[in-house]
């Protein structure tokens, strides 16, 4: 199903139309899987996307002694009384989100040894707030031979202020705090829907959390948590990807299984670009009948405009009428794919946090390379509105976050083909 050298052949020109159904959010389910470590027994997660990152996180948990079984759209995770406490570099480097096991493991086992991650090539993505927060909770944290090693016989509640509302740091500290002794207050916490999802699962497990959905999370530590069944929140980034695809190709797409209230900002931007967006039962419908107008975008933590949408909107602006300014405030070097877009004839100039995009009627197909998940998706969408054939390489990045990406595009009428070079058997 996947291989590092697979590529997509995209023939531009089709107008996308039809209905798609999105599944659970990658950025949520990976943390829910990590959270299962907090309780002995069997946790069942529903609405789990069939993506590479879930398979890798499953392997991280297996190596910690858990049994991980996929059953349809669910994943069943059985956590032993004493899980292991080490996550190795060969897995962690493949998904940065595996750092999410750090907090649960130190809280549950008193020790965690997690390789320093790699992940997307989108900026330095430090871990200083994760570490400083765990130290506040009483852990000692050392970095040795490429591993972070955190130790604490029992964590103790504390007040933690985050310099920036980091998604990963909020999640790690939240999970650690659930089993700490006493009260933890996480201030300037991230508020993404995926964090709300994690809070809801933790509360179901028996955690005491106040302020869910706000930037101040108060956690009263408990002695133990219990395994639960939990449905993963729908993937707002995947839902938004199909919406942008509809607008770029002047199509009409209904996105089902999604929550439009998690997409207020991007859907408003698409409306400004000229699209008609209608909320329907179980999702929303996007329709576009003309060339989009350029829209400015400024990325910020939720409820601001998500950085994960930035490459998609940058792509949209390359074929829009007018000039736009994109400002990236969350990751410092998320411009790598601009060079790829320029290969397709886009007119983009970057300067520090800003990119200025001069829209043109059409792009021109060429071979390009995906450097991360969303940039990869952005290049495929650009290929849909390019003249001729666009060959997108390194599509394993797209496999990390999109289930059945090509099949979905083909069902919507696009001319996209996967050229498989290798068929390894490690995905399912
Ligand atoms: C998560 C998402 C990613 C999304 C991002 C921001 C997952 C698996 N990934 O990533 O798709 O783009 O949120 O919405 O959920 N930082 C530090 N020190 C820290 C932690 C973060 O400097 O200790 C910086 C990072 O370098 C980055 C910024 O803070 O510049 C945002 O990072 P963060 O919110 O933590 O993103 P992730 O959790 O890595």
Q: Taking the model in full, what pTM does it have?
A: 0.95
How far apart are the C-alpha atoms of 219 and 134, rounded to whole Å? 14
- How confident is residue 425, by pLDDT bands cut at 50, 70 and 90? low
How far apart are the C-alpha atoms of 187 and 269, rounded to whole Å? 30
**Ligand 1 centre from 289 Cα, in Å?**
36
pLDDT tens sequence across 377-423: 999 999 999 999 999 999 999 999 999 999 999 999 999 999 987 65
pLDDT tens sequence across 365-374: 999 999 999 9
SS3 138: coil
Name which of 161, 163, 172 is nearest 34 in CA terms. 172
Among 53, 120, 197, 308, the one annotated catalytic: 120
Average pLDDT, whole number, for the chain?
94
Q: What is the pLDDT of residue 95?
A: 87
Which ligand 1 atom is nearest residue 308's CA? 12
How far apart are the C-alpha atoms of 201 and 45, rounded to whole Å? 10
Instruction: Indicate which residue's Cα is closest to atom 26 of ligand 1.
Output: 125
How far apart are the C-alpha atoms of 24 and 47, rounded to whole Å? 5
Q: What is the pLDDT of residue 275?
A: 98
**Ligand 1 centre from 242 Cα, in Å?**
23
Residue 428 has pLDDT above 80, yes or no: no
Instruction: Indicate which residue's Cα is closest to atom 38 of ligand 1.
Output: 168
Element (H, E) at 114: strand 111-115
**Ligand 1 centre from 123 Cα, in Å?**
10
Six-digit token string for 61: 């948990």
Residue 103 has pLDDT above 90, yes or no: yes
Pocket mutation for ligand 1, best pick of 57, 133, 168 (most atoms within 8 Å of C-beta)? 168
Instruction: Indicate which residue's Cα is closest to atom 28 of ligand 1.
Output: 330
How far apart are the C-alpha atoms of 363 and 12, rounded to whole Å? 9
Pocket mutation for ligand 1, best pick of 60, 94, 119, 164 (most atoms within 8 Å of C-beta)? 164
Q: What is the pLDDT of residue 200?
A: 98
Six-digit token string for 322: 């007018």
Six-digit token string for 179: 């089993």
Q: What is the pLDDT of residue 120?
A: 45
Tell me how long the chain is: 428
Instruction: Indicate which residue's Cα is closest to atom 13 of ligand 1.
Output: 167
pLDDT tens sequence across 248-280: 999 999 999 999 999 999 999 999 999 999 999
How far apart are the C-alpha atoms of 309 and 241, rounded to whole Å? 8
**Ligand 1 centre from 168 Cα, in Å?**
6
- How confident is residue 118, by pLDDT bands cut at 50, 70 and 90? low
- How confident is residue 133, by pLDDT bands cut at 50, 70 and 90? very high
What is the pLDDT averaged over residues 126-142? 94
Instruction: Indicate which residue's Cα is closest to atom 19 of ligand 1.
Output: 127
Which ligand 1 atom is nearest residue 28's CA? 15
How far apart are the C-alpha atoms of 234 and 23, rounded to whole Å? 6
Measuring from each residue's beta carbon to the nearest atom of ligand 1, which residues come in under 6 Å?
27, 30, 97, 123-130, 164, 166-169, 306-308, 330-331
Location of structure tokens 């931007």: 269
Task: Enumerate helices (H) and strands (E) in the chain, giving the number of each.
Answer: 14, 26
How far apart are the C-alpha atoms of 313 and 331, rounded to whole Å? 16
* 280: β partners: 283
DSSP string, 318-379: HTSBSEEEEE--S-TTTTHHHHHHHHTT-EEEEETTEEEEE--S-EE--EEE--SHHHHHHH
Residue 427 has pLDDT above 70, yes or no: no
426 CB neighbour count, 10 Å cutoff: 10
415 carries an active-site annotation:
no
Residue 119 has pLDDT above 50, yes or no: no
Instruction: Indicate which residue's Cα is closest to atom 22 of ligand 1.
Output: 126
Location of structure tokens 């005491």: 208
How far apart are the C-alpha atoms of 379 and 416, rounded to whole Å? 12
How far apart are the C-alpha atoms of 180 and 219, rounded to whole Å? 9
- How confident is residue 335, by pLDDT bands cut at 50, 70 and 90? confident
Which ligand 1 atom is nearest residue 192's CA? 14
82 CB neighbour count, 10 Å cutoff: 10
Residue 39 contacts residue 226 (beta carbons within 8 Å): yes
pLDDT tens sequence across 178-211: 999 999 999 999 999 999 999 999 999 999 999 9
DSSP H helical ranges for 142-263:
167-178, 193-205, 236-248
Residue 378 contacts residue 342 (beta carbons within 8 Å): no
CA count, 13 A, side-chain hemisphere, 53: 29
343 CB neighbour count, 10 Å cutoff: 18
Residue 122 has pLDDT above 50, yes or no: no
pLDDT tens sequence across 373-384: 999 999 999 999
Which ligand 1 atom is nearest residue 237's CA? 11
């Amino acid at each position: 199903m996947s291989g590092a050298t697979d590529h997509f052949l995209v023939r531009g020109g089709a107008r996308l139309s039809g209905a798609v159904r999105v599944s659970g959010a990658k950025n949520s389910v990976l943390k829910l899987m990590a959270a299962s470590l907090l309780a002995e027994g069997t946790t069942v997660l529903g609405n789990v996307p069939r993506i590479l990152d879930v398979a890798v996180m499953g392997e991280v948990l297996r190596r910690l002694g858990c049994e991980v079984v996929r059953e349809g759209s669910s994943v069943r995770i059985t956590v032993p009384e004493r899980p292991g406490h080490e996550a190795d570099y060969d897995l962690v480097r493949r998904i940065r989100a595996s750092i999410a096991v750090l907090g649960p493991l130190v809280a549950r086992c008193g020790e965690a040894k997690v390789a320093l991650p790699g992940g997307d090539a989108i900026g330095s993505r430090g871990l200083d707030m994760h570490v400083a927060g765990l130290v506040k909770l009483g852990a000692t944290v050392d970095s040795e031979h490429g591993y972070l090693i955190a130790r604490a016989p029992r964590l103790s509640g504390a007040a933690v202020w985050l310099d920036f509302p980091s998604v990963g740091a909020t999640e790690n500290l939240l999970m650690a705090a659930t089993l700490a002794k006493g009260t933890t207050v996480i201030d300037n916490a991230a508020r993404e829907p995926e964090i709300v999802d994690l809070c809801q699962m933790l509360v179901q497990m028996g955690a005491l959390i106040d302020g869910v959905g706000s930037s101040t999370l108060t956690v009263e530590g408990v002695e133990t948590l219990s395994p639960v069944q939990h449905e993963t929140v729908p993937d707002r980034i995947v839902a938004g990807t199909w919406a942008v695809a509809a607008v770029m190709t002047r199509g009409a797409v209904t996105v089902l299984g999604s929550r439009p209230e998690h997409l207020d900002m991007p859907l408003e931007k698409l409306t400004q670009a000229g699209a008609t967006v209608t909320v329907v039962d179980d999702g929303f419908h996007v329709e576009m009948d003309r060339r989009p107008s350029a829209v400015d975008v400024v990325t910020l933590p939720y409820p601001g405009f998500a950085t994960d949408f930035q490459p998609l909107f940058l792509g949209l602006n390359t074929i829009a009428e007018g000039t736009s300014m994109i400002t990236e405030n969350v990751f410092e070097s998320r411009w790598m794919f601009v060079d790829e877009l320029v290969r397709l004839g886009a007119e983009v100039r970057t300067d520090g946090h800003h990119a200025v995009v001069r829209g043109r009627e059409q792009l021109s197909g060429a071979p390009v390379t995906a450097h991360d998940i969303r940039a990869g998706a952005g290049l495929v969408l650009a290929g849909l509105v390019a003249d001729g054939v666009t060959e997108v390489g390194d599509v394993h990045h797209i496999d990390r976050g999109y289930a059945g990406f090509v099949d979905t595009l083909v069902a919507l009428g696009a001319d996209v083909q996967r050229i498989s070079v290798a068929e390894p058997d490690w995905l399912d």
